[in-house]
Chain A
């Protein structure tokens, strides 16, 4: 048996590699919540009087987020509005949504729902069928853009000042490495505890209160707090690059504890040193179709829905081209 390094009384149940400490259940819960509260103070994420939207999926990260935020918002004096985006993935999101609902019931919160079908006229199940005909984009490429758009829309329509999302330290470290490997400096500059184009109309600022806790810690927290959450791989999961980085970071973390946090810290210090090149007001437009702030004529979500609408046409086109080539 290992004794808890903090209280030196109870048996430790968790081994926190990067801190060198072993914690019992109550000490781990206190540690986890302390880290989220600290992140909130450091970046001034949630303030008194805020109407705060929270993206919940039924998964462990957002379950942990919602639970901690009920404490944090009570402490700060802010209002909490859980939002679930239903991608329309039968056998997956519907099951997860039940867990999200159960958690909201437990916390006495009303869960707001918005579906891809309602916003884009097409569910993920339908998108994948269409996509299968052309196969030039992975399912996650559509889904990622749609989710961001739908969450923002729901939060905006509900009058939220900010939108909290369940991105944890693992997500942060992966995204930072990904931007490095893909050489996307512009994306880099927008990334952090707050994200997106801030202070634009029709845009709700996104915040990441879990950026200094790991994915594994979120799962431990939910388990120790006995929160309902759903664990299942999405049947359309297609972002293999992110998956590879996940595996890579986990093996590095196992051998060199603390690496994930160091990536985030290094990035944030670098960002401070770099002179931020703000995207000028002129360059930013509003999507001609839906009004979302974007840099082109239309936002990415509208471009992708259009692409899907034309998917059948594209098949014909592709076939035509192949035929001509054979000649």
Chain B
């Protein structure tokens, strides 16, 4: 199945296995959950949530200086 993944304003399609969770995608993208928030279809969502085909994921990086 395919999901849409966006990070820092850049969006791409990601191919993943059925039953994959938000955490799986972050792992595959080598993103540390501690560095931001994960949103599913625009809403803050628990990382263990399973994805559905066509879902939109967004990782909001919160770790900035200043």
Contact = CB atoms under 8 A, between A and B. Distances in A.
Given A2-B46, A2-B49, A224-B44, A216 B37 contact: yes
A251 B32 contact: yes
A220 interface: yes
B4 interface: no
Nearest to A214: B34
A279 B61 CA distance: 41
Mostly, the B contact residues are loop
Contacts, number: 71
Contacts of B37: 216, 219-220, 223
Given A234-B64, A237-B66, A250-B63, A13 B44 contact: yes
A57 B64 CA distance: 13
Interface string B17-59: 0000000000000001111110000011111110000000000
A231 interface: yes
Contacts of A243: 65
Contacts of A233: 64-66
- Counting contact residues on chain B (CB < 8 A from A), the size range is 20 to 34
B65 A234 contact: yes
A175 to B, nearest CB: 14
A223 B60 CA distance: 11
A151 B65 CA distance: 19
A1 B33 CA distance: 18
A14 B46 contact: yes
Contacts of B46: 1-2, 11-15, 22
Which of B33, B34, B44, B63 lies at the interface centre, i.e. has the most chain A CB atoms within 10 A of its CB? B34
A216 B62 contact: yes
A12 B48 CA distance: 10
A234 B64 CA distance: 8
Contact of B62 (A14, A219, A224, A234): A219
Contacts of A220: 37, 44
Contacts of A234: 64-66
B64 A237 contact: yes
Contact of A231 (B35, B47, B48, B64): B64
A316 B13 CA distance: 55
Interface string A108-125: 000000000000000000
A215 B62 contact: yes
A172 B43 CA distance: 29
